[in-house]
Amino acid sequence: MFFTYLRRELRRRRKAALVVASGLALGIALVIVVSSVSSGMEKAQGKVLQSLYGLGTDMTVTKAAAPPTSTGQRPRFNFDANDNGSDKEQSSDRVMVQGFQTLAASTVSKVDSQHGVADSVGGLSLQVIRVNGQFTRGQFQQNGNGGGNRGGRQGGQQPPQGRVEGGGADFDVNNYSVYGTDVTKPALGPLTSSKITSGRTFTTSETNTEVVVADTSYAKEKKLSVGGTVTVKGVKFKVIGIATPDSGDAAANLYMPLQQAQTLAGAKDKVTTIYVKASDSQQISSVKSAIQKNISGTTVTTSADLANTVSGSLSTASDLASNVGKWLSIAVLVAAFLVAGLLTSSAVSRRVREFGTLKALGWKSGRVTRQVVGEAIVNGLVGGVLGIALGLAGAYAVTEISPSLQAQVGGSGGGGGQGGFGGPGRRVASKALDVTLTAPVSLSTIAGAVALAVAGGLIAGAFGGWRASRLRPADALRRVE
């Protein structure tokens, strides 16, 4: 009887039911679109952060660089200027630790022993300045009248008269970054944010082998290929692989085993960055506090800290989605629920005689209320189906359009240096990354939409049911619909 009457009433009041369902559908669709776009923002931001610290890394431990002093040693380059009449190309490399002060390699073990740390690995960030070129001797050009005795000078000849033409020095300065990575733990560090597209990566036995992995952009610029060699400070390294970063920007131009990097920089048993993986992602804050408390002089930067430094159109869009979009969704939902409730209550007012008759025939107030609530819930479910369909269509449209957003990451508040969270002095501190926005819809979002639809129906039914329960048969029968 309940379902028969329900079906008949919904069919008889199709237009009113469609209005209520449509209002709820718009609110639910907006919630789905905003929620999916917010998820897309988080995914895009995760891409940016992943390109900085690599997969599996939850935080880094560094020591802020000391402020520069006027007495600090500047890079010096020594060249020969032999007077042997030959012009020979000369070169000199200066290898410097970049971005942060160095930490003792034993600090890695201290970090690894902290509660909540699953694994940690050290790395050394270097900057190489290479100056190469040659000196060219000038040619002395004698004047035509520069010889012989002049002015009555006796007893000798005047020195030849003329000038030196040509000659000089032509030197080129090349600046590139090198990162020493611990090859015994390949699952951590910035190289994990790149994919080996040619050749291979390091093996765990190559702890002190003269091999490198080159970033794809640098390899293309310098025409490096797998099997070729690159010289750093007079040492020839074999290129074993080409790495392509997932987000378009690499941590360094060249990667080499940590011990080799320490030898080149004269920084034995030193690291600049410690990459840390937490055993539980929910305890990252407590792990950060423990490291800062137990290992003095260090700065711990988490992915959440770095996320606050992301700027550009990605940050703007994320703020709009999380703030404006959230409040707009809430406002539309509240409006939709109120309209649904008012329309249901209004429909009850127009059905006074009907409900009065049903009460006169023996229907209890509770049964009338359940009938009204049942109709409202069905309207809500219909609105939910329509809202989910509209929301999925909106999310699909955003994904298909795939708008491109820019993200620029500055150094974190306590990170020091120019490398920010990543450590190896990444160029992304001054270079914008392009990321594509998508709008993934999760099952939890759809479940939430269904819950909103039911809630909308219940709210609307509560308005109408309360109104219907207050009707008295004698008063209802005296009114004409």
Q: What is the pLDDT of residue 271?
A: 92
pTM of the shown model: 0.56
DSSP 418: T
What DSSP element (H or E) covers 469? helix 443-469
Question: If pLDDT is split at 50, 70 and 90, which confidence band does 71 have?
Answer: very low
Q: Are strands 235-245 and 211-215 parallel, antiparallel or unpaired?
A: parallel
pLDDT digit string (tens) for 165-198?
Answer: 666 666 667 889 999 999 999 888 878 878 899 9
pLDDT digit string (tens) for 108-127?
Answer: 999 999 988 999 999 999 98
Q: What is the pLDDT of residue 198?
A: 93
Q: Is the pLDDT reported for residue 164 higher than 70?
A: no
Q: Are strands 168-181 and 254-257 parallel, antiparallel or unpaired?
A: parallel
**One-letter amino acid identity for 436?**
T
pLDDT digit string (tens) for 346-371?
Answer: 766 666 677 767 777 777 777 777 77
Q: Are strands 89-97 and 117-136 parallel, antiparallel or unpaired?
A: antiparallel
Average pLDDT over the chain, rounded to an integer = 75
Q: Is the pLDDT reported for residue 317 higher than 70?
A: no
Separation between Cα atoms, residue 437 and residue 23, nearest integer Å: 28
More confident of the two residues 464 and 182: 182
Q: Where are the domains of the chain?
A: 2-53+313-477, 64-68+75-140+163-297
Q: Is the pLDDT reported for residue 51 higher than 80?
A: no
Listed residue (211, 217, 222) closest to 258, CA to CA: 211
Percentage of the chain lying above the pLDDT 90 cut: 18
Listed residue (275, 301, 309) closest to 56, CA to CA: 275
Q: How is residue 148 written in tokens?
A: 């012989």
